[in-house]
Every structure is written in structure tokens, then in C-alpha cells.
Amino acid sequence: MTQVIPTSSTRDDSLKFAYWVPNVSGGLVVSKIEQRTHWSLDYNVRLAQVAEASGFDYALSQIRFTAGYGAEYQHESVSFSQALLQATTRLKVLAAILPGPWNPAVVAKQLATIDHISNGRVAINVVSGWFKGEFTAIGEPWLEHDERYRRSEEFIRALKGIWTEDKFTFLGDFYRFHDYTLQPKPIQQPHPEIFQGGSSRAARDMASRVSDWYFTNGNTPEGVKLQIDDIRAKAAANNHRVKIGINAFIIARDTEEEAQQVLADIIRNADVEAVHAFGDAVKQAGKASPEGQGNWAKSTFEDLVQYNDGFRTNLIGTPQQIAERIVALKSVGVDLILGGFLHFIEEVEYFGQRVLPLVRELEARAERKVA
Ligand SMILES: Cc1cc2nc3c(=O)[nH]c(=O)nc-3n(C[C@H](O)[C@H](O)[C@H](O)COP(=O)(O)O)c2cc1C
């Protein structure tokens, strides 16, 4: 009989920590600042091992089919995730998937096999796409904003059906299945966790119906609370539960001055042309959502120096300041912090040694107060 492993959604409610896998060159900032981060497999294997030993729960790979705004080289997300899983024992790795280039039958099959190979540690991040040039370059039709989410939702419904049912039948506008039985099914029960990204109305509505996790761009506790309350109210009406992850570019240093200096240096060295080009592309993609609340709708030039508004979360300062801000995010309903770093390996290690113990202490204190 196959071993059954519950997904972590059934485990405790302590904050979870993820890091961005730098499987794309140039790191996580659109800046010419020196970075001791590399997109190679060797670097990433060492990083995954350090992250796992430092207390990180998840690693998030990125999917990019072509260069754009600094990402000159890009390793493919599913095969790269598999390599990281092979090199670790506890870390969960999220493979980023773009519906369009990928079809749900292939993804369901690939990830079921990887789930077996990794003993139940693979997860998926369904990204709906913002980069029209990339789709054009590989000959994929570029759907309008809300159509992209309609396709993603069908994609997720199809995945869940294939992973959990025998003789699965699905007649959608984008995907069709007829009496399809996948064997073997994944070992995680009910299925590997399904994450998604976005901020727009369509992204939130999809989360409130089908996703296990909703990832959003960097934001203040007040800003993200508005989204969380909105999504959770809708999810409750759908009898669905969704967890929330927020992006943050983390700069933890022994003093606040040092941390602020690093931020100032990143922005001073911004690749101005690339930041503007990236801003034009993502704002076009976001504005295309009918209500205009897409991921980057309010981003300033400085925000855009980090691909997903990570400076806005303000996890920049001393370990104590950062730990307090992380716990404040938890108090408005955040379940997971997704961290980007300038020099990944050394900063992930510093975070594990200096910040995480403080977070756990503050979480325990908050729990005692409630009890
Ligand atoms: C945490 C996170 C990770 C993402 N990873 C990718 C990725 O690897 N590749 C990609 O093309 N888009 C990625 N996206 C983009 C989203 O899937 C989505 O297309 C974008 O956020 C647009 O959202 P909107 O509908 O709010 O405008 C990511 C978004 C977030 C928040």
C-alpha cells in the first residue's frame, strides 16, 4: 500500500517561512548592486540545505521562459525543484507552473511522480502570467487578464480532480478530461498543496474558491489585512479555507542603520531602464484587470526595484524589529512569510539564527496571552 502523508495544512498554526529560489539570474532586485547570489544548481543546492537547517519550511521556484528585465538565464522550475528535493529531506519545494505552456494532465502526472520520489514534499504555485512578451516569444496566445484567471481556475479544478478521483471527467472551456484515472496518485493527502499568486479581484476570487494558499506582493499589515478580510469572507461563503503568504525582501542586520544603508545602496544602483520597462509591463498586465487592483497597481519606482514590492513589507532592520513586524503580520491573518534576500546563503542562515528564534518567542508569548 502507498504511504499517505497529510499536507501541512493539517499541521499547527505557527508561522511558516519560505524563500524564493534564485533559479533565475540577477537575484531578486533589479539593481546593479553586487550580489553574492547565483542561479546555478550548485549554489541552489547549498542554499536549500542551509534553508532547511535554518528552519525554513518551503522553497518557491520561479518560472520564466525568456529573459526580461535582468533575468538573463532561467532554469526550468519543475526539474529544478526536483533537484532541490533530492538534495534535502524536510524542505517542501514549490514548482511554479504557468497554465498555457503547461497542461494539467502533464503537471498532475509529473508532480505525482515527484511526490513519490520526494516522500510527499512537492507543492505547486500556479501563476497566471503578466509577461506578454514571454507568451508571444514562445507562440502562446495571450489571454486578457480575467480570462487568464478563468483558465487558471479550471487548471486547478482539473488538477484536484485528477489527483483525488478515479474516472475523472471534466468539461471546461480550456480543459477536458474523460474517465481519466491517474495512477499512482500523489502520496500527500488530499493532494499536494496548491499555491497561487496575485492581488487583483480575479486573483482573490480564484483563491476564495479553489486555492490552498494565496501569495501576494509586499504590503503593510493594514494593506494586506484588507485583502485577507476580503478573501476570507468570500472563502467562508464558499465553504473554503485559504491561507495567506506575503512577499518580503528581508534585510536583517545587527543595526538598523546598516540595514537601511543596504536598502539605499540597492535603490541607488537600480537598473533604471530595466525598472521602467518592468514597471510598464506589469502595470499594463495589472491595469488590464477590470477593477485596476492588480499586483503592481500602486507600485512606485522604488517598489519596482524589487520584483514583487518586497520593500513595502518593511522587514528591514534589526532582528528584533523584523521579528516584531512579522508577528504583527501574523496578527492580521498572515500564515507565511516569503523572503527574498540580497546574498541568499549567508542571509538565510543569519535569519535562521537571529530572527526566527525571536519570532517563535513572540508567537509563544502571544499564545500565552490568549490562553
Ligand atoms: C509570490 C509570487 C510568485 C510569483 N511567481 C511568478 C513566476 O514565477 N512567474 C510568473 O510569470 N509570474 C509569477 N507571479 C505572478 C502572478 O502569478 C500573477 O501573474 C501576477 O501576480 C499578476 O497578478 P494580478 O492579477 O494581481 O495583476 C508571482 C506572483 C507572486 C505574488
d(CA 22, CA 343): 11
Distance 199 CA to ligand 1 centre (A): 9
- In the prediction, which pLDDT does 258 show? 98
Atom of ligand 1 nearest to the CA of 286: 27
pLDDT-based confidence at residue 289 (cuts at 50, 70, 90)? low
Lowest mean pLDDT among 158-162, 276-280, 295-299, 308-312: 295-299
pLDDT-based confidence at residue 303 (cuts at 50, 70, 90)? very high
What's the whole-number mean pLDDT along residues 235-249? 98
pLDDT reading at 1 higher than 50: no
Rounded to the nearest integer, the mean pLDDT of the chain is 94
- In the prediction, which pLDDT does 4 show? 57
pLDDT tens digits, one per residue of 163-215: 999 999 999 999 999 999 999 999 999 999 999 998 899 999 999 999 999 99
pLDDT-based confidence at residue 332 (cuts at 50, 70, 90)? very high
- In the prediction, which pLDDT does 350 show? 98
In contact, 97 and 77? CB cutoff 8 Å: yes
Q: How far is CA 283 from CA 29, 31, 333, in A?
A: 17, 19, 27
Q: List residues near ligand 1 (CB under 6 A).
A: 62-63, 96, 98, 127-131, 197-200, 203, 215-217, 247, 285-286, 289, 294-295, 308, 338
Q: Whose CA is nearest to atom 4 of ligand 1?
A: 197
Q: ∠197-203-209 over CA atoms, to 5°?
A: 105
- In the prediction, which pLDDT does 12 show? 77
- In the prediction, which pLDDT does 280 show? 83
Percent of the chain with pLDDT over 90: 85
- In the prediction, which pLDDT does 7 show? 52
Residue type at position 9: S
Neighbours of 138 (CB within 10 A): 11
pLDDT tens digits, one per residue of 79-125: 999 999 999 999 999 999 999 999 999 999 999 999 999 999 999 99
Q: How far is CA 93 from CA 111, 129, 156, 298, 360, in A?
A: 11, 20, 18, 30, 23
Residue type at position 60: L
pLDDT-based confidence at residue 3 (cuts at 50, 70, 90)? low
Atom of ligand 1 nearest to the CA of 285: 27
pLDDT reading at 10 higher than 50: no
Distance 182 CA to ligand 1 centre (A): 29
Q: Whose CA is nearest to atom 8 of ligand 1?
A: 62
Q: Which of 21, 25, 81, 295 to mutate to test the pocket of ligand 1 (most atoms within 8 A of CB)?
A: 295
Distance 255 CA to ligand 1 centre (A): 32
Distance 301 CA to ligand 1 centre (A): 18
Q: Whose CA is nearest to atom 19 of ligand 1?
A: 129
- In the prediction, which pLDDT does 194 show? 98
Closest of 84, 56, 94 to residue 250, by C-alpha: 56
- In the prediction, which pLDDT does 43 show? 98
pLDDT-based confidence at residue 11 (cuts at 50, 70, 90)? very low
Lowest mean pLDDT among 21-30, 290-299, 318-327, 361-370: 290-299
Provide DSSP, 69-93: TT---B--HHHHHHHHHHT-SS-EE
Q: Which of 130, 194, 293, 334 to mutate to test the pocket of ligand 1 (most atoms within 8 A of CB)?
A: 130
Cell numbers at residue 369, please?
496571552
How far is C-alpha 105 from the geometric centre of its chain's CA atoms? 22
pLDDT tens digits, one per residue of 152-171: 999 999 999 999 999 999 99
In contact, 216 and 245? CB cutoff 8 Å: yes
